[in-house]
Copies of this chain bind each other. A is one copy, B any other.
Amino acid sequence: MQEFKSSVTEAEQQDLITQGLSFAEEAMLNVVSSDVIVLNDASKHILEAGGKRVRPRLLILAYLAAGGTDVKHIAKPAAAVELMHTASVVHDDINDHGIVRRGRPSVNAIWGRTFALLTGDFLFTTVYQLMAAYGELNQDLADAATGLVEGETLQAWAVKNSEFTSENYMRIIALKTAALFKAAGMMGAKLANAREDVVEALGNYAYNVGLAFQIIDDILDIIGDEATLGKTSGIDIEQGRGFASVETDDDTENPDELMDSIKRKLLGGNRLDKARQQAEMLVQIAVSGLDILPDSLAKAELIDLANKVINRDH
């Protein structure tokens, strides 16, 4: 299983990770440059606010763990997975009336609904721009894009129709979060010209990490406070997401009362503990799937990334 072991040292791999993220950052800022000032400014506003960059990190680590060494070569796909996520975040803040994102006012809050909608559209188009040259990988990303929008829609539908069952919850997070994680893992491996079983292993790893990531995100939404999270906390709950089925109606319900009632429901039982256990199990499955890979710093970082997903507080 060592045939694609990377020839670079651990210190060199560490440098490659840092460089890869930096190239991806540069690619993102380049591709959102536009003569249309509103798009340019609003896109840079949301990008420069930072964020965890977990999706490009996943892609870079998968690439290195599968034996790749040229991180400049993968800057555009790494930027693309982050921009697809960013596009959905901007649209999410329109639908949820989110006013804080990554510790800054949301695009919606500064530029208004019309420009936030168009900025989200613009960010989706930058994904096309970045990926136009990457032939086969476009199908992986297309599947992730469709999944993302389907997941967001299923969520809005489940809230509206009081169908927020745990079965629907798993389907929603698989589509809206895990699908893009999976694409990042698979694309990283494919860019390193990895064998099919390696591509599959890294795709499955990333998929399970994505599920765990979203479960923990929802738990943090319940117990977190606005300052720690850097976004309008509780919104996911006010809208009836997470672990409870609840009727909501933006126009008639008092969000605070609704929020209190859901919190009482959630924290009264042992649902949060169960959800956390599920996330931990998913991370275990994810990590064990990496056995197929030779040891490398990138592999260790992938294991570390998975563990951090369940041990983070923001």
Contacts and interface: CB of A to CB of B under 8 A. Distances in A.
Interface stretch (A12-20, A53-61, A149-157, A186-194): A149-157
A122 B138 CA distance: 16
A95 interface: yes
A135 interface: yes
A107 interface: no
A36 B115 CA distance: 27
Given A38-B157, A95-B114, A157-B38, A121 B149 contact: yes
A149 B118 contact: yes
Interface residues of A, number: 44
Contact of A34 (B91, B114, B148, B150): B150
A223 interface: no
A214 B107 CA distance: 30
Contacts of A142: 125, 128-129, 132
Nearest to A142: B128
Nearest to A114: B95
Contacts of A91: 117-118, 121
A252 to B, nearest CB: 15
A184 to B, nearest CB: 16
A128 B122 CA distance: 14
Contact of A153 (B38, B129, B145, B148): B38
Contacts of A146: 34, 122, 125-126, 128-129
Most chain B beta-carbon neighbours within 10 Å: one of A88, A113, A119, A145: A145
Given A132-B138, A145-B125, A153 B118 contact: yes
Contact of A36 (B37, B131, B154): B154
Contacts of A127: 128
Contacts of A143: 129
A31 to B, nearest CB: 9
A215 interface: no
A127 B128 CA distance: 10
A24 interface: no
Interface of A: 34-39, 88, 91, 94-95, 113-115, 117-122, 124-129, 131-133, 135, 138-139, 141-143, 145-146, 148-150, 152-154, 156-157
Please give me the 3 A-B residue pairs with the lowest Cβ-Cβ distance, nearest first: A128-B142, A132-B138, A132-B139
